[in-house]
């Protein structure tokens, strides 16, 4: 069975109000203003929604996902995730919030020296879950991702599609309320991409809020859903 999200009920999973993000100028090229990666973003994502995040290369998709992941603070505006306003959240509360956010990336980011089973178990071990209970959860997750027979393999022995499904199993093993995917099918062939998308959609059907950044228009056509469209750091449309 797929993992259902756990934790308290939040009706508005993400709220951005007038959000800007500026990166500092590279050394020696100071304009004073820095580089505006995101400007004046205002939107909300209801709990349980699925959204595509679209835009050309450099439009700001990864930057927006980093803000939603609470990995970065905005330069201006309000970022609220899981009901917590980031500017008012104490630093020591961040790890607890981040544990309720699952992330997958284009390049999988599995730990190469750990087996698939141990990669998937890692978030549970970091959270201090007891070994006996944790192994059943990991086995369930591997079944869900179609990887039971690959549990003892190292990531390098897996196909790209298998690696991404392992990364997805690791991202959802903590039953996150919010699941973010940054170009998750960018390194996969069409069949594997659809399989990963089907798993992301299943998470959404079970109540998880899902945001998927992609360039792949064919996937967006195959899985119609509301979209956040960015152009040069600004929100062009929402819905």
Ligand X SMILES: Nc1ncnc2c1ncn2[C@@H]1O[C@H](COP(=O)(O)OP(=O)(O)OP(=O)(O)O)[C@@H](O)[C@H]1O
Interface ranges with ligand X (CB under 6 A): 23, 35, 37, 55, 57-63
Tell me the C-alpha distance between 210 and 220, whole Å.
14
User: Least separation, in Å, of the C-beta of 239 and ligand X?
Assistant: 19
Tell me the C-alpha distance between 158 and 16, whole Å.
38
User: Least separation, in Å, of the C-beta of 57 and ligand X?
Assistant: 3
| Residue among 58 and 207 whose Cβ is closer to ligand X | 58
| Residue among 54 and 142 whose Cβ is closer to ligand X | 54
User: Least separation, in Å, of the C-beta of 39 and ligand X?
Assistant: 11
Backbone angles phi, psi at 38, to 5 degrees: -135, 140
| Residue among 20 and 83 whose Cβ is closer to ligand X | 20
| Residue among 51 and 175 whose Cβ is closer to ligand X | 51
User: Least separation, in Å, of the C-beta of 47 and ligand X?
Assistant: 25
Tell me the C-alpha distance between 94 and 72, whole Å.
11
Angstrom distances, CA of residue 236 to CA of 54, 62, 86, 138, 217: 10, 16, 24, 40, 17
| Residue among 60 and 176 whose Cβ is closer to ligand X | 60
Helix (H, G, I), strand (E, B) or coil at 203: helix
Q: Parallel, antiparallel, or unpaired: how do β-strands 76-81 and 84-85 relate? A: antiparallel
User: Least separation, in Å, of the C-beta of 228 and ligand X?
Assistant: 11
């Amino acid at each position: 069975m797929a993992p259902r999200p756990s934790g308290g009920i939040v009706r508005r999973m993400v709220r951005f109000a007038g959000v800007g993000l500026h990166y500092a100028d590279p050394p020696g090229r100071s304009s004073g203003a820095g580089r505006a990666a995101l400007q004046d973003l205002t939107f909300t994502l209801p709990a349980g929604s699925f959204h595509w995040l679209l835009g050309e290369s450099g439009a700001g998709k990864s930057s927006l996902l980093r803000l939603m992941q609470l990995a970065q603070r905005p330069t201006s505006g309000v970022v609220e995730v899981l009901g917590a306003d980031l500017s008012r959240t104490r630093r020591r509360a961040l790890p607890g919030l981040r544990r309720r956010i699952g992330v997958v990336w284009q390049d999988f980011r599995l730990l190469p020296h750990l087996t698939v089973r141990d990669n998937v178990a890692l978030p549970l071990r970091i959270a201090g879950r007891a070994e006996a209970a944790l192994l059943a959860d990991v086995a369930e997750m591997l079944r869900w991702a179609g990887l039971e027979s690959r549990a003892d393999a190292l990531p390098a022995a897996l196909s790209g599609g298998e690696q991404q499904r392992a990364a997805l199993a690791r991202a959802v093993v903590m039953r996150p309320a919010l699941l973010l995917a940054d170009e998750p099918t960018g390194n996969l062939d069409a069949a594997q991409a659809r399989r990963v998308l089907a798993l992301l959609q299943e998470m959404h059907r079970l109540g998880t809020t899902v945001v998927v950044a992609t360039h792949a228009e064919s996937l967006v056509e195959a899985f119609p859903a509301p979209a956040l469209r960015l152009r040069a750091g600004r929100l062009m449309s929402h819905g």
